[in-house]
Amino acid sequence: MKQDFTLSSFKDFEDIPGFDIYQRAGAHKGYLDYLRDNEFMNYRLLATSGCGPEIELAETGYIKKGSYISFVCNDYLGFTQHIRVKEAVIDGIEKYGCGAGASPLIGGYFDYHKQLEDKLSAFFKREKGSSIVYTTGYTSNSATLLSLLKKEDIAIVDMAVHASVYEGISGTTTKRFLHNNLDALERILIQAKDKFRTKMVIIDGVYSQDGDMARLKEIQELTHHYGGILLVDDAHGIGVIGASGRGAMEYFDVMDKVDIITGTFSKTFGNVGGYVIADPRLISYLQFQSRQYAFSAAATPAIAGVSKAIDLIDEEPHWQKQLQENIIYYKKGLLELGLDIGTTESAIIPVKIGDVKKNSEAGKLLLENGVYTNPIMYPAVSLKDSRIRMSLMATHTREHLDKALNVFEYVSKKLDIACR
């Protein structure tokens, strides 16, 4: 008899009691086959053009070869394709070659790394020596937290933080508080008083699924009032939020009050890698004690593109302005269709559908009609919070947005997903 996978999710296959690795992988494959057979396989679609507001997809299974309007790139300002960013990457490779060849401690630390660190420190208005560069945003969180927080410490995390944070706090005491709930946070801070060496509150500046912002100012005040340390991951805020694109910290005027800032180069900076901004004593500790930094090869010379992207945030503010105009226009259009876009305040636009099956159907219909989005389901969000997730870019044109809105109108009628 065929297994019913209708309510299954990837989480169900992380561990299955009594199944060895091949049995578990076999069960997992059954789920993948179910997704493919029902044309719900919106993951790992094969693209044949670069990241951008339009993307070419290859023919795979039921996916038709062709050009799609894309809302899946977190390249908010379009810098993956910016001519000056590309030139900087090419110059970096021409001068230094393709790889760093070693970890930073044993021969893989080059002046293009130092230049980027100095730019990051200056960008966040900190003294030199306040930043470290990792090869992914994921490890900026996971590796930093793993090396800083031990058994005698406590991590107090907003329940909506990114998976990389959860990995980072696996070796310390952990308490989660309801998303953006100040009372819940304060209760934990009071309970934790005098019981732990380090109390670290960990939040995102902009949350990756709802696109809403942290109540950053109040959280900063509470954290410091109770003697805690505040870490903010602003992966989705930099380049998008704040008068000069310095993220949620700038918006809430707490740039100099956040103890540790983490972020990624894979979104606004149009590259790959991540960073941590903190007191130089912590940075120097991470350089030697953070295992994923010390025992792993350093970023490639292509990272020179990030140094250029940092310059462009200040030199070409029109990208951020254009992105904001797109956000306003697109949100208005979706709201006029009666769709539920939740509480987003950023370039991440969810259309909340709730029902898992309808959500998959919506993703499929959008794709069939030339609009490429991400249907998000459990465990990324709770079952009842299934949604279509979109990232807006400065380089989406009105034509792209209007076409997508037309398709949403059709999908909404067909699946009856409008909330009013």
Binding site for ligand PLP (CB under 6 A): 136-138, 141, 162, 164, 204, 208, 233, 235-236, 264, 266, 274
- For ligand PLP, the closer of residues 347 and 417 by Cβ is 347
Gap between the Cα atoms of 70 and 367, Å rounded: 10
- For ligand PLP, the closer of residues 292 and 386 by Cβ is 292
Gap between the Cα atoms of 344 and 364, Å rounded: 24
- For ligand PLP, the closer of residues 134 and 196 by Cβ is 134
Q: How far is the CB of 157 from ligand PLP (least distance, A)?
A: 12
Q: How far is the CB of 211 from ligand PLP (least distance, A)?
A: 11
DSSP-derived pairing of the beta strands 274-277 and 131-134: antiparallel
Q: How far is the CB of 266 from ligand PLP (least distance, A)?
A: 4
Helix (H, G, I), strand (E, B) or coil at 155: strand
Q: How far is the CB of 286 from ligand PLP (least distance, A)?
A: 17
- For ligand PLP, the closer of residues 208 and 412 by Cβ is 208
Q: How far is the CB of 236 from ligand PLP (least distance, A)?
A: 6
Buried b (16+ CB within 10 A) or exposed e, 117-152: bebbbebbebeeebbbbbbbbbbbbbbbbbbbbeee
Q: How far is the CB of 165 from ligand PLP (least distance, A)?
A: 8
Q: How far is the CB of 328 from ligand PLP (least distance, A)?
A: 23
Gap between the Cα atoms of 267 and 78, Å rounded: 9
Q: How many CB atoms lie within 10 A of CB 198?
A: 15
- For ligand PLP, the closer of residues 272 and 337 by Cβ is 272
Rounded-to-5 percentages of helix, strand, coil across the chain: 45, 15, 40
- For ligand PLP, the closer of residues 69 and 206 by Cβ is 206
Task: Give the residue nearest to ligand PLP (CB).
Answer: 137
- For ligand PLP, the closer of residues 113 and 364 by Cβ is 113
Where do we find the tokens 């789920």?
31
Nearest Cα residue to 122 out of 275, 339, 252, 10: 275
Helix (H, G, I), strand (E, B) or coil at 4: coil
Gap between the Cα atoms of 292 and 286, Å rounded: 10
Report the DSSP beta bridge partners of residue 68.
Answer: 55
